[in-house]
Each structure stands twice: as structure tokens, then as C-alpha cells.
Amino acid sequence: MEDKLPNSLTKSTNKYSGWGWSLVVLVMMALVATGAAFTLWHWYQKWKSQHHHHTHIHRPPTAVDDEYANALGIAMQFFDVQKSGKLVDNRVTWRGDSGVDDGKEANLDLSKGLYDAGDNMKFGFPMAFTATMLSWVILEYGHHMQEVNQLEYAQDSLKWITDFLINAHPSDNVLYIQVGDPEVDHGCWERPEIMTEARPITQVNVTYPGTEVAAETAAALASASLVFKSINEVYSELLLKHAKQLFNFADTYRGSYSASIPGVQKYYNSSGYGDELLWASAWLYHATGDQSYLTYATVSNGNSFAGWGYPTWFSWNDKLPGVHVLLSRVSFFGSSNIPDAENLGLQKYRKTAEALMCEFLPDSLTATSKRTNGGLLWVSQWNPLQYSLASAFLSVLYSDYMFWSDTSTLYCDGNNYEPMDLRNFAMFQANYVLGSNPMKISYLVGYGNDYPQYIHHRGSSIPVNSNTGCKDGFRWLDSTAPNPNKAVGALVGGPFRDDTFIDSRNNSMQNEATTYNAAFMVGLLSGLLTFSPSQQSFT
């Protein structure tokens, strides 16, 4: 694979058609006395770039890429590694039933859902985001996944989360957002199948609001309602009912869950809830077609929360880049019957998305400097691949929006780029993660010949026949032997800024896998798997 992205800077052709020259010359001669020739010349240049170039957009091949297909099949299995509850036909043989009594203290069934990372906690905020990402991927690229027999697995993993989220919302203004005590959980090193510690549940409500987690859960359920609309209409309607209630709860009782529940600050501290409100309203607009949700995001709250003109980095905590791209979709394909005020807001979202895309392109004048020498987009030393993969997913998605709408050019500070340039960036990031990097290691467990053997993961690191409990299980954390159970599909945190990586079980900064990392990886691979010649409808 290439060590760096090719310079695909779009260049204007120097060969005009004969009739085009004749047209320009004749009209210029007729108007030269009036001084209008200069204006007409620029008009023709603009016309040529808009119309002549449309027929020459370089498009990706439509054949399935076998390597990406293989990697996708591996990445999808991590959700099976993380499942809580009573497992049925689980593909990961070393996993068993666990957490089956979660929620019983409140007469709720919170047994399902996913363990967050290498621990045995269920954190509702990142779990809901994982569900939203899975929904988005299925909606955009489910037909790709179907071609390689991964769609049903994705739908099953999504429903495993949404079943939990529905049960975690027993009344309009109550949402359970955590199962387990993180301090107790992190004081143990044990398999989830043998947990004996108390697993308290934590809620947000009108007294202790949690706008960002309620809004993210609304986004998850609204987007999932679209996924299941043609599969199980009754379930889809139930998802949408909960999504609407949760959005109303989030918006009416505004307050950060980090303030209401200070204990979450050490684990999933929120930087603010404005992005989640916009994210939820955007998904509810797609799910319902109700224009009030679009007005909410574009007119009523855009100026306050959207950060127009200032791109940020997509992650479990910051949904704004996702909002910019998701509402760009409306600008590309569904803005013809939208009022002017809302359309103006959509244009601002799209303009900000374009600025973000320009930051991704390495030879753009506005390219971000946040990269390793090996070419990986690198934003944070903690779990850096989250940002790399999230950015790559958005770039391949935006490139497809350009392809599907026959938009030939992305303008970056005076230079022109094609949608293939964005796709090339996404491919480079994917290939780096899969082994084309200075360490020659795959960061996806189970893919390739060399991948992390000591990931920071309790269930993976403890032999199935071990009867160690909470405290004595730490000997497996400190063991020098590779993990006995392969956590297939785990996408670890990733390398340092100098492209180095330490495969150590105690190195949670680099070597812990998360469900949202897996969702980003699944999204990126699904987008790159093949190419669709036309847009897929959400409805």
C-alpha cells in the first residue's frame, strides 16, 4: 500500500471543445467595444468548470474489496465479545451469560446492552452513541454489508443495545444511564460471567437532569427506528415513541449529567449538551419528516449550539461534526421544499462540513497538522484511533454525498479537490489501522498476522476455567502470557504521536478497546467495501 496519499489536486483542462472556442470568440468580438468581454470570459470559465467537469468525475470501482470485507467480518464480532445478558447463539465461544440480574432492584430488565470497554461497566452515554453510529452505518451502507453477509449481525447488535435503552426509560422523564459502580468495578479484575459485586443503577430525572445522555439516547432510538422500519414496524414505532419522549425530557429539563452525577466525570465527562440536542433533533427530523425538528436545529438553536464555521473532532463526546455532515445530507438531497430560513441554516452546516473535509486532506492549504509522520490523523494520546476512524468515516460518507449528487468539486482555500480525494484519505486511514504503518501491526485484533496480544480487557485476559474473583484476578492483569481468549474485532486505542505502540495489558491508554471504536471501524469499512452509484434513501 502507498505510504502517503497521492496528490489528486483537480486541475482544469487546457483543451476546450471547438464549438466552445467559437462561441467565446464570436461573442467577445461583438461585445469588445462595450468592455463586456472580460466578464463573459469568466462566465464561460465558470460554466465550463460546472458542466464540462461533471462528466469526468473519477469514481471508485463497484467490485467488493476482499480485504475490507474480511476486516469488516472481524470487526463486527467485537459486539458479540461485549454483550451482556443471556446469550443465544453467540459467535464468541468463550463468552457466557452475565449481568442477567441487572436492573432487578428497580424491577427493570437491564440485562442486555454492551459492556463499555475492557471493564464490566455499562455506561449509557457512550453505549447510546455506539447505537446511533451503528444505525447510521446501516442506513447508509447496509446494502454493502448485505453483500458480505454482515447486515443481520449489525442489526442484531443494534437491537441488543436498543432493547436495553428502551427498558432503561421506564417513564417519560426518567432514564437509567449506568449499571455498576465504576469505582468498585475498576477495583476488580474478573470475568463478567462470575461477578458477585453489587451492580447499582443510576438515573437522570427532572431533579437531576442529564440532557446530553437523554438526547443521545433519543438520537439512538430515532435512528434505529429507521433501521427497523421495514423489518419490524411495531418495534420501530416503539423506538420512535421513546425517542420523542427522551428528546422532550432532554430539552425541557436542561442540565448536564456531569453536574447531576459527578461520579461520571472520571469516566465519561461531558463537555456540554448543545451538540447532543442538535444531533437528536437532526435524527428525529430524518425519522419523522416533522419540520419542527429541522427548525430546531437550523433556526432556533443553530446559532447557540452549532459552532458554524469552526469544525471540531467527531467522538463519543462531540457530535457536532456528525450533525454537520448529517444535515449536509439534507442540503445535498432534500432541500427543495424547505423554507429559506431553514435552508440558510443547512447551508451553514454544509459549509462547516466542507471546512472539516478540507482539514482532512493532507495537501490542502487548510490541512490539520494533527498527524503522525506515518500519516495517521492523530488528535489525542488517549484512544487516538477514535478520532482517526471517526474522521475517515465522515470523509468517505461526504465523498459519497458528492458522488451521488454529481458534485464534482470541493473548494479548499482556492484549490479544488474531487470526492475521490476524500475517499483516498479514508482509505489511507483504514489501511494504516490494518497494518500499513511504521510498526507493521494491525490494530484490529484478529486481522493480519501481527496484532495486539495483550489488550486491556478482563474477559479476554482470564482463562475461562479460572475461578479467580475480584481481587485475586489481578494476577491475570499482571501476567506475562498473551491473552488466552482472543477478543476478535477489538479495535485498540492506537499509537503514540511518533507512530509507536506498546502492546501491554497495563497500557490502557493505547491498548483498550471500546464499542464506539468498533462502530467507527465498521462504518469506515462498510463505506469503503464497495461503491454505490446512487444515494440510498433512509425511508
- The C-alpha atoms of residue 142 and residue 537 are separated, in whole angstroms, by 11
Give the DSSP H/E element, type plus range, for residue 417. strand 415-417
Q: What percent of the chain has pLDDT over 70?
A: 90
Confidence class of residue 39 from pLDDT cuts 50, 70 and 90? very low
Query: With 80 as the cut, is the pLDDT of residue 287 above it?
Result: yes
Q: What is the mean pLDDT of residues 497-515?
A: 97
- The C-alpha atoms of residue 449 and residue 355 are separated, in whole angstroms, by 38
> According to the model, what pLDDT value does residue 217 have?
98
Query: With 70 as the cut, is the pLDDT of residue 200 above it?
Result: yes
> According to the model, what pLDDT value does residue 20 have?
40
Nearest to 5 by CA among 503, 395, 442: 395
Q: Which residues are catalytic, by number?
A: 456
Q: What is the mean pLDDT of residues 253-276?
A: 97
> According to the model, what pLDDT value does residue 533 have?
87
Query: With 80 as the cut, is the pLDDT of residue 135 above it?
Result: yes
> According to the model, what pLDDT value does residue 34 have?
38
DSSP codes of every residue in 430-456: HHHHTT-STT---SBTTSSS---SS-S
Query: With 70 as the cut, is the pLDDT of residue 81 above it?
Result: yes
Cα–Cα distances in Å, from 47 out to 53, 316, 347, 458?
10, 42, 22, 61
Tell me the per-residue pLDDT of 312-371, one tens digit each, with 9 for 90 and over: 999 999 999 999 999 999 999 988 889 999 999 999 999 999 999 999 999 999 999 999
Nearest to 353 by CA among 384, 407, 394: 394
* Residue whose C-alpha cell reads 420523542 in the numeric block: 244
Confidence class of residue 57 from pLDDT cuts 50, 70 and 90? confident
Query: With 50 as the cut, is the pLDDT of residue 279 above it?
Result: yes
> According to the model, what pLDDT value does residue 125 have?
98
> According to the model, what pLDDT value does residue 334 have?
86
Query: With 70 as the cut, is the pLDDT of residue 392 above it?
Result: yes
Query: With 80 as the cut, is the pLDDT of residue 37 above it?
Result: no
> According to the model, what pLDDT value does residue 7 have?
31
Lowest mean pLDDT among 11-25, 197-211, 389-403, 480-494: 11-25
Lowest mean pLDDT among 192-201, 234-243, 329-338: 329-338
Total residues belonging to the chain: 539
Tell me the per-residue pLDDT of 140-194, one tens digit each, with 9 for 90 and over: 999 999 999 999 999 999 999 999 999 999 999 999 999 999 999 999 999 999 9
Query: With 90 as the cut, is the pLDDT of residue 32 above it?
Result: no
Confidence class of residue 56 from pLDDT cuts 50, 70 and 90? low
> According to the model, what pLDDT value does residue 116 have?
96
Query: With 80 as the cut, is the pLDDT of residue 24 above it?
Result: no
Query: With 70 as the cut, is the pLDDT of residue 36 above it?
Result: no
Query: With 50 as the cut, is the pLDDT of residue 42 above it?
Result: no
pTM of the model: 0.89
> According to the model, what pLDDT value does residue 166 have?
98
Query: With 50 as the cut, is the pLDDT of residue 6 above it?
Result: no
Q: What is the mean pLDDT of residues 56-85?
A: 94
> Would you say 491 and 75 are in contact if contact means Cβ atoms under 8 Å apart?
yes
Query: With 80 as the cut, is the pLDDT of residue 92 above it?
Result: yes
Is 453 or 536 the better-scoring residue by pLDDT? 453
Confidence class of residue 3 from pLDDT cuts 50, 70 and 90? very low
Q: What is the mean pLDDT of residues 125-145?
A: 98
Positive or negative, the CA dihedral 123, 126, 131, 132 is positive
